[in-house]
């Protein structure tokens, strides 16, 4: 067995934080995992195999530049890249650094995971002898953790025997990965119809500021976490703390918190925390996938902030920026995260991610790099949000690999294609309509416009998470109802209904009731 290194901190407050000898090599090793978990081989290589063989060394802080700290060691045996260092200061909070470059024979440059305010030159630093590790296992269920796994929910400390895992690991071997083909019904009409999501797949919501990414992710959480019989891991990256607390409270109220782990690296935290929080969440997900053989639902809001934190760290580390000012390692960093989100035989990791699109520019390098990894790309459009068509999903810009007759069936595929064609033709004609008016169109085009406008409205939907401020009760619609509703509209059943009857309703039957009520009111008014 590999020798086990224990690091004793002089700081009693460090209790439950990162330090430790756990590495990717320890995966599946019951001794190093605390001896309580099943020893099941996992499909992971070990990039850090030699980590825990090294003797921890001492150093002193040489320079502090925001989140980047240079440390000088007495002996040239420097801690390896990605090692965790612990600052020995007399503060109540621990300060963990991660080694990113060796500047010379005695100096390393590291990124801080917590605020470096108050840190001065000459403060002692201790190498932990291993990478940053985070607690995993049953004890973290129902808890809100920070980037290094410290509980942030005012709850009790995690038990001492909580297993830990390195935040760095390679994705499962290609041969052990499984594809995603099982459709996951969300109850959101436009998603189920045009961009079906897969169990074990990766889906992302792309949109500029304020077009409804967070609302959509929250609705999906609500729709899926309750149905999902696995574990859910939510990561808040660089978003508002208020949103994080709202989610925590909502999960507590709906009783799903005990199956959920929340990991936050929010916008008030240093770039190191925002950059590594997704890896912490991923590590916890991998544990449930590999050791407990559970299906995992991994939710991230917002992956763009992970890229942005990487860019901040990169410039502080002194690297030259690349395209549009992003870090030169953009593609590697995104791939390092996304490739680890993988399903293996028997355990699926389903990922749903929100991605901010800076200045609504969908050609932004961060956006294009992230979208390349997705099975299902949901684009949110500002034009739709401006018209009040929520969820503001662009039906023509969004796509899913699952929308294939072999996966969803011929019926679903044909209905989706017919809806897309009607909406595409309507978009083509919209310039003519605004210049000349709809009356100038031919009979066939006028009919298409009529039905497309009704479809557009039918694909809006009241959400349960927006009930409080819209006053409309939320609706979840089964896929069969969505398909039959769209087919009926395409066949002309709603041609004579008022458009508003189809706006913000659930099923077509609800729209019919709304239409009947509106007609009755009109008749009453006329009388």
Ligand X SMILES: Nc1ncnc2c1ncn2[C@@H]1O[C@H](COP(=O)(O)OP(=O)(O)OP(=O)(O)O)[C@@H](O)[C@H]1O
**By CB under 6 A, is residue 33 in contact with ligand X?**
no
In the complex, what is the shortest distance from the CB of residue 48 to ligand X, in angstroms, rounded to a whole number?
Answer: 35
Cα–Cα dist 71/102, whole Å:
10
Neighbours of 13 (CB within 10 A): 12
Q: Catalytic residue, from 240, 323, 440, 499: name it.
A: 240
In the complex, what is the shortest distance from the CB of residue 339 to ligand X, in angstroms, rounded to a whole number?
Answer: 26
CB 382, CB 392: distance < 8 Å: yes
Alpha-carbon distances of 317 from 60, 146, 310, 328, 496, rounded to whole Å: 18, 23, 10, 12, 64
In the complex, what is the shortest distance from the CB of residue 211 to ligand X, in angstroms, rounded to a whole number?
Answer: 5
Choice between 149 and 207, CB closer to ligand X? 207
**By CB under 6 A, is residue 209 in contact with ligand X?**
yes
What are the structure tokens assigned to 355, written together? 């991605």
**By CB under 6 A, is residue 389 in contact with ligand X?**
no
Active site residue 246: no
Which of these segments, 87-95, 209-217, 261-269, 431-439, binds ligand X (CB under 6 A)?
Answer: 209-217
Which residue stretches of 376-505 are H helix? Answer: 382-386, 405-408, 410-436, 443-458, 467-470, 479-490
Q: What is the DSSP string of 39-89?
A: ----S---TTTTGGGSPP-EEEEEEEETTEEEEEESSS-PPPTTEEEEE--
Task: Compute the C-alpha angle 180/184/185, nearest 5°.
Answer: 160
Q: How many residues touch ligand X (CB under 6 A)?
A: 14
Q: Catalytic residue, from 98, 185, 219, 239: name it.
A: 239
Q: How far is CA 244 from the centre of its chain?
A: 13
In the complex, what is the shortest distance from the CB of residue 453 to ligand X, in angstroms, rounded to a whole number?
Answer: 19
In the complex, what is the shortest distance from the CB of residue 389 to ligand X, in angstroms, rounded to a whole number?
Answer: 9
Site for ligand X (CB under 6 A): which residue of 5, 215, 337, 486?
215
Choice between 96 and 378, CB closer to ligand X? 378
**By CB under 6 A, is residue 470 in contact with ligand X?**
yes
**By CB under 6 A, is residue 268 in contact with ligand X?**
no
What are the structure tokens assigned to 252, written together? 């507590």
**By CB under 6 A, is residue 213 in contact with ligand X?**
yes
Cα–Cα dist 109/103, whole Å:
7
Q: Catalytic residue, from 213, 259, 294, 457: name it.
A: 213
60: alpha, beta or left? (left if phi > 0; alpha if psi -120 to 50): beta
Active site residue 276: no
Map residues 343-372 to x or -, x wherever contact with ligand X holds by CB under 6 A: -------------x----------------
CB 391, CB 216: distance < 8 Å: yes
Cα–Cα dist 342/426, whole Å:
39
**By CB under 6 A, is residue 207 in contact with ligand X?**
yes
**By CB under 6 A, is residue 278 in contact with ligand X?**
no
Site for ligand X (CB under 6 A): which residue of 22, 129, 265, 391?
391
Q: Return the residue nearest ligand X (CB atom).
A: 212
CB 283, CB 126: distance < 8 Å: no
**By CB under 6 A, is residue 432 in contact with ligand X?**
no
Which of these segments, 24-32, 75-83, 160-168, 210-218, binds ligand X (CB under 6 A)?
Answer: 210-218
User: Binding site for ATP: which residues?
Assistant: 207-214
Choice between 83 and 353, CB closer to ligand X? 353
Which of these segments, 44-52, 137-145, 169-177, 463-471, binds ligand X (CB under 6 A)?
Answer: 463-471
Q: How far is CA 431 from the centre of its chain?
A: 37
Active site residue 239: yes
Alpha-carbon distances of 115 from 14, 271, 375, rounded to whole Å: 15, 9, 36
Contacts with 12 (C-beta within 8 Å, 6 or more apart), sequence order:
none
Choice between 260 and 381, CB closer to ligand X? 381
Choice between 33 and 188, CB closer to ligand X? 188
In the complex, what is the shortest distance from the CB of residue 192 to ligand X, in angstroms, rounded to a whole number?
Answer: 15
Burial class (CB in 10 A: 0-12, 13-18, 19+), 420: middle
Residues of span 292-321 touching ligand X by CB under 6 A: none
Residues of this chain that interact with ligand X (CB under 6 A) are 207, 209-215, 356, 390-391, 463, 466, 470
Which residues carry out catalysis? 213, 239-240
């Amino acid at each position: 067995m590999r020798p086990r290194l224990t690091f004793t901190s002089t700081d009693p407050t460090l209790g439950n934080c990162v330090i430790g000898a756990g590495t990717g090599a320890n995966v599946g090793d019951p001794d190093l995992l605390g001896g309580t978990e099943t020893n099941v081989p996992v499909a992971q290589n070990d990039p850090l195999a030699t980590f825990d063989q090294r003797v921890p060394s001492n150093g002193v802080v040489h320079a502090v530049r925001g989140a980047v700290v240079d440390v000088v060691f007495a002996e040239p045996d420097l801690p390896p890249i990605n090692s965790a260092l612990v600052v020995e200061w007399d503060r109540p909070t621990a300060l963990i650094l991660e080694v990113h470059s060796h500047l010379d024979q005695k100096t390393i440059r590291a990124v801080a995971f917590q605020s470096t305010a108050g840190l001065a030159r000459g403060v002692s630093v201790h190498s932990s002898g291993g990478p940053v590790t985070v607690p995993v296992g049953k004890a973290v269920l129902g808890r809100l953790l920070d980037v290094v796994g410290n509980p942030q929910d005012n709850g009790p400390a995690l038990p001492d025997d909580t297993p830990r895992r390195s935040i760095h690991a390679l994705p499962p071997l290609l041969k052990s990965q499984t594809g995603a083909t099982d459709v996951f019904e969300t109850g959101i009409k436009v998603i189920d119809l045009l961009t079906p999501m897969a169990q074990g797949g990766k889906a992302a919501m792309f949109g500029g500021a304020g077009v409804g990414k967070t609302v959509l992710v929250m609705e999906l959480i609500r729709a899926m976490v309750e149905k999902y019989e696995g574990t859910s891991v939510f990561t808040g990256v660089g978003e508002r703390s208020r949103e994080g607390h709202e989610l925590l409270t909502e999960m507590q109220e709906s009783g799903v918190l005990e199956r959920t782990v929340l990991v936050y690296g929010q916008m008030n935290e240093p770039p190191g925390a925002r950059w590594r929080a997704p890896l912490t969440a991923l590590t916890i997900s991998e544990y449930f996938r590999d050791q407990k053989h559970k299906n995992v639902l991994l939710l991230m809001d917002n992956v763009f902030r992970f890229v942005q934190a990487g860019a901040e760290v990169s410039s502080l580390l002194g690297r030259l920026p690349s395209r549009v000012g992003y870090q030169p390692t953009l593609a590697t960093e995104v791939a390092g995260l996304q490739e680890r989100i993988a399903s293996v035989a028997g355990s699926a990791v389903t990922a749903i991610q929100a991605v901010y699109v800076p200045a609504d520019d969908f050609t932004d390098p961060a956006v294009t790099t992230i979208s390349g990894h997705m099975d299902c790309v949901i684009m949110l459009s500002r034009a739709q949000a401006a018209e009040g068509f929520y969820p503001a999903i662009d039906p023509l810009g969004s796509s899913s690999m699952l929308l294939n007759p072999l996966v969803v069936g011929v019926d679903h595929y044909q209905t989706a294609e017919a809806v897309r064609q009607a909406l595409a033709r309507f978009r083509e004609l919209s310039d003519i309509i605004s210049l000349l008016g709809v009356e100038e169109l031919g009979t066939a085009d006028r009919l298409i416009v009529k039905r497309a406008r009704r479809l557009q409205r039918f694909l809006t939907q009241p959400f349960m998470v927006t009930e409080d401020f819209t006053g409309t009760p939320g609706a979840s619609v089964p896929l069969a109802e969505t398909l039959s509703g769209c087919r009926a509209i395409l066949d002309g059943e709603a041609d004579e209904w008022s458009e508003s009857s189809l706006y913000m309703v659930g099923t077509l039957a609800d729209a019919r009731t709304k239409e009947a009520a509106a007609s009755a009111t009109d008749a009453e008014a006329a009388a």
